[in-house]
Amino acid sequence: MAHPAQIKIPATYIRGGTSKGVFLRLQDLPTSCQVPGEARDKLFMRVIGSPDPYAAHIDGMGGATSSTSKCVILSKASVPDHDVDYLYGQVAIDKAFVDWSGNCGNLSTAAGAFAIHAGLIDPARVPDNGVCVVRIWQANIKKTIIAHVPVTNGQVQETGDFELDGVTFPAAEIVLEFMDPSDDGDEGGSMFPTGNLVDELEVPEFVVKGGTLKATMITAGIPTVFVNAKDIGYTGTELREQINNDPAALKRFEAIRVAGALRMGLIKTPEEAATRQHTPKIAFVAPPTTYKASSGKTIEAADVDLLVRALSMGKLHHAMMGTAAVAIGTASAIPGTLVNQAAGGGEREAVRFGHPSGTLRVGAQAKQVNGQWTVTKAIMSRSARILMEGWVRVPGDTF
């Protein structure tokens, strides 16, 4: 029996922040995959190696974690005053599903660098030496991201001495500005969808006794539900294995996520949560305390403002998602939120938080306008590096 040969598609495998993804130019995709739909989803899943009942991604480019099961499409900007459109797909590991509901803040770093690598930036705007300002239109959530990408001899400078906890080796620093992150343009809601800085979230009894949990639900960077670590039996110093090797804990976190998604209006029924795995994120916060990071490095309480642990795609993240860091920075800047309270309260324009791999600093500028909180931008530094470039191959009958 004859089987179709493999086809090859130009692709670049890039680390951005603490994530990795397969980057493709829209113009290089097969015609049927250049538009949203089933063909594109099937292509992305086959590239990554999903769905994989073995949860190993042996037959694909994925790494069987939420941080490494990602694909990105870049193209010339479709909106004025931007350079590129950046579209992100979070590929489920064990299910036939691609989630388009949010952004990846870590890969936003790589999107800026790849835009230059891929020839999508006007050469006149790329300096021989200096910083290239890449104006990115994040097409999933319809927001602007500005990447300040270092350039040497007309090429992206990838090597350097900037260290990012959760990434093994140093690289060149890329500064990201997330503009007006306090409203998810695709959802059209306010920064606090419930209208409250803190809510009593109704959850199943198996989550907490009494069935209610204090929560700050915010849409900034990405929809996120924050709860206090102590309220769910944690200290905020937990590492990945302590949560991910506990099926009962993961079940409780998913129940909180579903309850939050319903309260935030992201879904109408609990069943819809299965088709929206990427958002909202769940994070738990605690005041500073000394702990040992996954690398073995001691993080002193005096070196951080608070502790945060966050889950992505049903598992505790090994460091911190970039979009969740935006939510953390934003919530910390607004007095009264659980994040702000964990950081000691008061007004602030930046916060350094401890995560499983170390620490991260993020800044946010918040203000009240007509009684409503808004954030003009959030700022953080990441890095990006091309790991491999060439072609990715998939069987010809994939889509």
Q: What is the pLDDT of residue 366?
A: 86
Q: Which of 122-136, 177-191, 235-249, 300-314 has the lowest mean pLDDT?
A: 177-191
**How many other CB atoms are found less than 10 A from the CB of residue 361?**
15
Tell me how far apart the alpha carbons of residues 234 and 305 are, in angstroms, rounded to a whole number: 18
Determine the residue type at 385.
R
Provide mean pLDDT across the span 243-268.
Answer: 97
Residues 6+ apart with CB under 8 A from 195: none
Both tokens of residue 170? Answer: 């140093």
**Residue (of 78, 65, 61) closest to 106 by Cα position:** 65
Domains 6-173+384-395 and 199-374 belong to one CATH topology: yes
Q: What is the pLDDT of residue 277?
A: 86
Q: What is the pLDDT of residue 184?
A: 46
Indicate which residues carry an active-site annotation: 104, 321
Longest distance between any two alpha carbons in the chain, whole Å:
70
- Percentage of the chain beyond pLDDT 70 is 98
Mind listing the pLDDT tens digit for each residue in 321-349?
Answer: 999 999 999 999 999 999 999 999 998 99
- Cβ proximity of 104 and 117 under 8 Å: no
Mind listing the pLDDT tens digit for each residue in 50-102?
Answer: 999 999 999 999 999 999 999 999 999 999 999 999 999 999 999 999 999 99
Confidence of residue 189 (pLDDT cuts 50, 70, 90): low
Average pLDDT taken over every residue of the chain: 95
Provide mean pLDDT across the span 14-24.
Answer: 98
Provide mean pLDDT across the span 193-200.
Answer: 96
**Residue (of 210, 211, 202, 342) closest to 260 by Cα position:** 202
- Cβ proximity of 223 and 326 under 8 Å: no
Segments making up each domain of the chain, as ranges: 6-173+384-395, 199-374
Q: What is the pLDDT of residue 16?
A: 98
HEC string of the chain equals CCCCCEEEEEEEEEEECCEEEEEEEHHHCCHHHCCCCHHHHHHHHHHHCCCCCCCCCCCCCCCCCCCCCEEEEEEECCCCCCCEEEEEEEECCCCCCEECCCCCHHHHHHHHHHHHHCCCCCHHHCCCEEEEEEEEEECCCCEEEEEEEEEECCEECCCCCECCCCCCCCECCEEEEEECCCCCCCCCCCCCCCCCCCEEEECCCCCCCCCEEEEEEEEECEEEEEEEHHHHCCCCCCCHHHHHCCHHHHHHHHHHHHHHHHHCCCCCCHHHHHHCCCCCEEEEEECCCCEECCCCCEECHHHCCEEEEEEECCEECCCCCHHHHHHHHHHHCCCCCHHHHHCCCCCCCEEEEEECCEEEEEEEEEEEECCEEEEEEEEEEECEEEEEEEEEEEECCCC
Q: What is the architecture, at CATH level 2, of domain 199-374?
A: Roll (3.10)
Q: What is the pLDDT of residue 186?
A: 43
Confidence of residue 1 (pLDDT cuts 50, 70, 90): low
Angle CA(312)–CA(107)–CA(41) in degrees, nearest 5?
70
pLDDT at 240 over 60: yes
How far, in Å, are 257, 327, 341, 352 from residue 184 at the CA level?
A: 18, 12, 24, 24
- Cβ proximity of 248 and 304 under 8 Å: no
Tell me how far apart the alpha carbons of residues 4 and 328 are, in angstroms, rounded to a whole number: 48
Q: What is the pLDDT of residue 275?
A: 84
CATH entry, 6-173+384-395, from 3.10.310.10, 3.40.50.300, 1.10.10.10, 3.40.50.1000: 3.10.310.10
What spatial distance separates the first Cα and last Cα of the chain, rounded to whole Å?
Answer: 20
At residue 336, φ and ψ (nearest 5 deg) are: 110, -20
pLDDT at 363 over 60: yes
